[in-house]
Structure 1
Amino acid sequence: MTSTTTARDAGRAPAGAAAQERPRFGDLLAAEWLKLWAPRSTLWSLLIAGLAVVAINAGTAYDTHRYWSRNSAEDAAEFIRAGIPLQEAFTVNAVVVLMLSTGAIGALCLVAEYRTGLIRTTFAAVPARRSLMTAKVLVVAAVMTGFGALVACCSFWLTQAILSTKGVGVPIDHPGAWHLVVASALLAPVSALVGMALGAVLRHSGATLVSCFVLLLLLPIALSDDRYWTAVVGHAMPYKAWLRLAEINTTDALYPWTSTGAWGVLALWPLAAAATAVVTVDRRDV
């Protein structure tokens, strides 16, 4: 009787142990949240990047304030009608800093684990790689979306407050203002997830960061709008989508495209990047 009971319990033990070892998805989210904020560099990187972006935008608005020499109401109305307050609310230089910094942070969230070997420990503890990577993607996307929204809103508020001292600031309900703020905010999660996807494929810090720079900025800048096919490929890039939604240098485009298409680009890129990261990590050995 005793030997039979022992054998039966031994047969049931592995199944019970496996059930206990399988974490809930909420536990994976919590673990990835802690891993993201564990290095002090994460907070400092976000803080420095955010301050740099806001400072670039505010500095542009301050230059306008400092050298403003037009005093008539007609000049102020023309300034607003030309869309310059929105151009200074989030400048191209600020976009470059935002995309590169968030892309690097997203990449290092994954590449750093490969470099230190922590990824092996993680996969040993949680063999369900797809669930683990999905949790990592969701945490990074949520943090970067909040970061992008904070930076975009602060930039808009501060620049328009500066311009308002000369009577040329615009409110948030001004035509095109919400498009600019939301599109600028979305660049943060888009760039971070693209960086993570490249990190999953390349697994090397230097190669990932260079590839991130080439894909997010160098390639769309190099693609000319003067030819149909290069314009079409350029329209599929997040940077060009932001330009379209911010309405910077797009009014006289040879091959114009719709704002709906630009929103679609900003929606599809993070989905494609997230899928690439999850599938790549799941199918490749550590």
Structure 2
Amino acid sequence: MAFSAVLRSEWTKIRTVASTSWTLALVFLVTVGFAALFGATFNTDNLDEVQRATFDPTALSFGSMQFGQLSMIVFGVLVVSTEYSTGMIRTSLAAVPHRTRFLTGKMTVAATLALVVGLLTSFVSFFLTQALLGDLGIGIGEENVLRAVVGAGLYMALIGLFAMGVATMLRSSVAAISILIPFFLIVSNVLMGFDATRTVGQYLPSNAGARMMQVVPGAFGNEETPYGPWGGLGILVLWVLASVLGGLLVLRKRDA
């Protein structure tokens, strides 16, 4: 099957499965909803001296990404695992015996959708939060702000790809979600909370991604990373490549 046909096939699968459509919608709704809440309730009186000195209105716009990314993770997992749970994977591989082409087509379509939703989410979250901050807000034309906004959208797409790779290796939505949600929601924060483990925690995907969304280094008094926004992107890309290549290796070696 030609690659263009694979892309059309994967697009049809994704848009006709209600669960994947709803999870993408939740990425937007959850992230923007919490961004609005954070912007509307933000008060500098709650900040200490260090946090005021490192106040980053752009990063504040993306504090809600920690919630929205959970829906993106579920989207990435479901794109892959749904075929295994329904047995559709056998039909798909019979139609596209070239497994690299099959997985590349699936990830290309899903990642494109994730990027579109991610960018829409990041831009809406930014403009809404800045409007709610009033005089504390910042314009998108300020130095490095547009880079951070685009970085937030790109982060979402890369997290979706990372989840797809893990789901391809595990071939189970329950197993993949059970590992990924605690990994992003708990493990990253715990490792950053202790001096002994902070060096490791800084290189986890969520913390590398957070650096991509900051304009002010060490925003809100958080520990500064030994790398900048572009370094954070590079680290995240390495995680994604490892996940995708691992998924491809498993797909090529195991029976459906």
TM-score (norm 2): 0.87
Structure-2 residue corresponding to 1:86: 58
Q: Determine the C-alpha separation between the residues in 2 that align with 1:197 and 1:98.
A: 19
Question: Which position in structure 1 is the counterpart of 2:2?
Answer: 24
When residues 25 and 126 of structure 1 are mapped into structure 2, their CA distance, relative to the original with a 3 A threshold, is same
TM-superposition CA deviations, 1:198-243 (whole Å, max 9, x none): 2112222211111111333322112146546x33322221211133
Residue in 2 aligned with 1:107?
A: 77
Structure 1 CA distance, aligned partners of 2:168 and 2:101?
15
Partner of 1:52: 30
Structure 1 residue runs without a partner (length 5+): 1-22, 70-78
Note the C-alpha offset of 1:179.
3.8
Secondary structure (helix, strand or coil) at the match of 2:136 reads: coil
| CA positional deviation for 1:97 | 1.5
Aligned-residue offset at 1:181: 1.2
Counterpart in the other structure of 1:204: 172
Deviation at 1:160, TM superposition (A): 1.1
Q: Deviations over 1:225-273 (max 9, x none)?
A: 6546x333222212111333324558663x7412132121122222222
Q: Partner of 1:162 in structure 2?
A: 132
- Match of 2:101, SS state, is helix
Segment drifting more, 49-58 vs 198-207: 198-207
- The 1-side partners of 2:162 and 2:222 are apart by 30
Runs of 4 or more, structure 1, over 6 Å off, are none
Is residue 2:226 matched to residue 1:257?
Answer: yes
Give the root-mean-square deviation of aligned CA atoms.
2.5
Q: Which runs of 5+ in 2 are unaligned?
A: 46-50
Q: How many residues align?
A: 248
Which entry has the higher C-alpha Rg, 1 or 2? Answer: 1
Matched, 1:236 2:206: no
> Conserved in 1, the CA contact under 8 Å of 2:168 and 2:247?
yes
Question: Is the CA contact 1:86–1:180 (under 8 Å) kept in the aligned structure 2?
Answer: yes
Q: Is the 8 A contact 2:158 2:240 kept in 1?
A: yes
Distance (whole Å) between structure 2 residues aligned to residue 68 and residue 239 of structure 1? 26
Question: In the aligned structure 1, how far is the partner of 2:75 from the partner of 2:11?
Answer: 14
Amino acid at match of 1:48: L
Equivalent residue, structure 2, for 1:172: 140
Asked if 2 retains the 8 angstrom alpha-carbon contact of 1:89 and 1:155, the reply is yes
- Report the CA distance shift for 1:97/1:236 in structure 2 as closer, same or farther (over 3 A): same
For 1:270 and 1:68, the matched residues in 2 are separated by 36
CA distance in 1, matches of 2:65, 2:127: 17
CA pair 252-205 structure 1, distance change in 2 beyond 3 A: closer
**What's 1:267 paired with?**
237
Is the contact made by 1:193 and 1:274 (CA closer than 8 Å) also made in structure 2?
yes
Identity of aligned residues (%): 29
Deviation of 1:58 after TM superposition, in Å, equals 1.0
In the alignment, the residues of structure 1 paired with residue 52 and residue 142 of structure 2 have an alpha-carbon distance, to the nearest angstrom, of 10
Give how far 1:109 is off.
0.8
TM-score by length of 1: 0.78
Equivalent residue number for residue 48 of structure 2: none
Secondary structure of the residue that 2:78 maps to in structure 1?
A: helix
- 1:223 match: secondary structure: helix
For 2:164 and 2:13, the matched residues in 1 are separated by: 15
> In the superposition, relative to structure 1, how do residues 250 and 258 fare at CA in structure 2: closer, same or farther (>3 Å)?
farther
In 2, the alpha carbon distance for the partners of 1:198 and 1:150 equals 25
Structure 1 residues 25 and 232, CA gap change in structure 2 (3 angstroms): same
Distance, in Å, in 2 between the alignment partners of 1:46 and 1:210 is 19
Q: Structure 1 pair 249/81, CA: closer, same or farther in 2 (3 Å)? A: closer
